[in-house]
Amino acid sequence: MRISEMDWRRVEDWLRQDDRAVLPLGSVEQHAGLSLATDAILAERVAVEAAEPLGVPVFPALPFGIAPYFQAYPGSMSLRVTTYAAVVRDLLDSLKRSGFRRVLLVNGHGGNQPAAAVAQEWMVDHPDCRVRTHDWWRAPRTWAQVQATDTVASHGSWLENFPWTRLADTPTEGAKPMVDLDRLKTLPPFETRTMLEDGNYGGRIARSDNEMLAIWNIAVAETRMAMEAW
């Protein structure tokens, strides 16, 4: 259940019987022709759909992440690693003060990997708590379905092109060869934009909704398993 649909009394009632909560992690950054908020949209939505039959409270996605490489694309936002780590730590502190002891971080952005290290450090000081990080799109079953659909799947490509991330003017046709990811990691933002052009790392712009929903259904089920497997 979304926290936005609960008041504090309902949270208190939940905590009398269960101590689980979900915090989605997103990013606001270029996604070629898709929404700038793609990572936040997907992380929160997969968490909400996964949690629905369980009743586990899902907080709004932390919208901003670590994306310095996209700073030449207008609208792309990025936090410093130190800032991001401090924000995640503060949020975990708040969750514990509320009474939550098991927290699943449903991550939607590859650049947010420091959150997992923060969670491990935080548990050293809070041994009565458990925090897990779940990268929803590359969890084993979900990624296997992605690869079975199309082996060329990357940032800003069909992989993230769902009905709820595309825009009215999102292109529907086209494909790109994969960029040299090793070289891309060495470039400053302006050269990154020059190399990527529209922002897609490589692959088709879109695949059929039936194919995307097949992936999505597995992702929801696998995310639910992460909520249950404590």
Read off the pLDDT of residues 189-199 as tens digits, 9 standing for 90 and up.
999 999 999 99
**Nearest CA-CA partner of 96 in 62, 121, 64, 131:** 131
Of the candidates 9, 75, 5, the residue with the CA atom closest to the CA atom of residue 44: 5
Q: Residue 230: is its pLDDT beyond 90? A: no
Q: To the nearest 10°, report the CA torsion of 194, 161, 103, 127.
A: -40
Report the share of the chain in percent with pLDDT over 70: 100
Please give the domain boundaries of the chain with CATH numbers for all domains.
3-228 (3.40.50.10310)
Q: What pLDDT, in 10s, does the model give residues 6-39?
A: 999 999 999 999 999 999 999 999 999 999 999 9
**How many angstroms separate the CA atoms of 1 and 52, rounded?**
6
Mean pLDDT across the stretch 55-63?
98
At residue 75, the pLDDT reads: 98
Q: What is the mean pLDDT of residues 76-96?
A: 98
Non-local CB neighbours of 225 within 8 Å, separated by 6+ positions: none
Task: Compute φ and ψ for 121, nearest 5 degrees.
Answer: -65, -40
| Mean pLDDT computed over 222-227 | 98
pLDDT digits (tens, 9 = 90+) for 140-167: 999 999 999 999 999 999 999 999 999 9
d(CA 27, CA 160): 13
Burial (CB count <10 Å: 0-12, 13-18, 19+), residue 72: middle
Mean pLDDT calculated for residue range 87-111: 98
User: Residue 170: what pLDDT?
Assistant: 96
How large a percentage of the chain has pLDDT more than 90?
Answer: 100
The pLDDT assigned to 213 comes to 98
Stretch 176-189: mean pLDDT, rounded?
96
pLDDT of amino acid 74: 98
Average confidence score pLDDT of the chain: 98
pTM beyond cutoff 0.95: yes
Task: Please tell me which residue, 12 or 230, carries the higher pLDDT value.
Answer: 12
**Distance from C-alpha of 224 to C-alpha of 114, rounded to nearest angstrom:** 23
Q: What is the mean pLDDT of residues 178-197?
A: 97
Radius of gyration of the chain (CA): 18
